A and B are shown apart, each in its own frame.
Chain A
Amino acid sequence: MTQATPTHTAASVPLVDGVQGIVADWSSDQRAFKNVPWGKAMMWIFLLSDTFIFSSFLISYMTVRMSAVEPWPNASEVFALTLFGKSIPLILIAIMTFVLISSSGTMAMAVKFGYEKNRKMTFILLLLTAALGATFVGMQAFEWTKLIHEGVRPWGNPMGAAQFGSAFFMITGFHGTHVSIGVIFLIIVAIKVYRGDLDNERPGFLTGRKGNYEMVETMGLYWHFVDLVWVFIFAVFYLW
């Protein structure tokens, strides 16, 4: 894999800001997205497509819920846990939210330390992010187990509208899959950082792309997106 030789023509054309800048960037030669590595631009475009997938799920959920004639199960009660002899509504989901937000915070800092070439801190923060992500998936597995024991199935449940189960398993399942894939990639990037692959521009195992610290930021975009989707799921699925 050879890297394209950077051309120096851009130096003669100063970048314009504002609305004119949009026109100038989009009509310019070779690259529409200035100042971003291509991997990052492509990750953004992937995330845009993923946004449409999750939005389709959430909008279908809205549609089936609005058209359901049986009462919808009350999320506040379904996801309540009994802690210290007291039933606390939605507590597991609240903890999961805090865990995922914390992992976003550690990820953002990993990106920052990555650009400073602080290998140790980047590695620790990436592993911490992965650990928080794994904790989130673990709690989700617990939640699924609990609901399945209570008789919730994709085709019906004892609490009310049958559509509750299908929407729940589909949406949280797809999100959980995203988190799991994210954890795997976080561990891979953490290993790369630890070995110094990003400093030494060592070619990647699968793609042969040279290592660099922009990878950490691209990884971060994906991870923050997973957190972003959870913000919407939390609001419309659990709080509605």
Chain B
Amino acid sequence: MAHAHGQAHDAQGQQQAHAQGQQHPIGIYLKIWGLLFVLSAASYAVDYFHFQGYLRWFLIIVFMLLKAGLIVAVFMHMMWERLALMYAILVPTLLLMVLMGIGALEADYTFFTRTVYFVKGLL
């Protein structure tokens, strides 16, 4: 958090924010770029080598979240922002878990009724 905004404490509002911006050494971008390549290759490999079942799911989701985290944290500079902005943007997305849960419940129920009433020969 600290290194980009070390001097920001005597900030004169907008003026100071103009002068500072987000300045980080180029190395960190190149490293994250490389890491994203490796992670993408890894998630492609999951499909290429036909991993199946829970292992496939586990690997896909881990690689997905790692990539998303790296992009948001470094490329989008979120790790250097103040907590007020970080929480305002990241916390609301957790609500999507609820929507996902509702969707899964509904899908299970729809699938159940479809197999019972519409699919011939399944029951």
Q: Which residues of A contact B (CB under 8 A)?
A: 4, 6-8, 10-11, 14-15, 17-19, 21-22, 25-26, 30-38, 41, 44-45, 47-48, 51-52, 55-56, 59-60, 62-69, 76, 89-90, 94, 97-98, 101-102, 104-105, 107-109, 111-112, 115-116, 212-214, 217, 220-221, 224-225, 227-228, 231-232, 234-236, 238-240
Contacts and interface: CB of A to CB of B under 8 A. Distances in A.
Q: For the complex, would chain A's binding face be called helix, strand, loop or mixed by DSSP majority?
A: helix
A227 B106 contact: no
Nearest to A239: B60
A11 B47 contact: no
Contacts, number: 202
Interface string B13-44: 11111101111101001101100110010011
Nearest to B30: A105
A7 B20 CA distance: 17
Nearest to A115: B21
How many chain B residues sit at the interface, stated as a range, is: 35 or more
B55 interface: no
A234 B63 CA distance: 11
Interface in B107-122: 107-108, 110-111, 114-115, 118-119, 122
Contacts of B12: 6, 8, 10-11
Given A35-B82, A108-B75, A48 B92 contact: yes
A19 B99 contact: no
A6 B15 contact: yes
Interface string B95-107: 0100110011011
Given A22-B87, A34-B11, A67 B114 contact: yes
A72 B100 CA distance: 20
B48 interface: yes
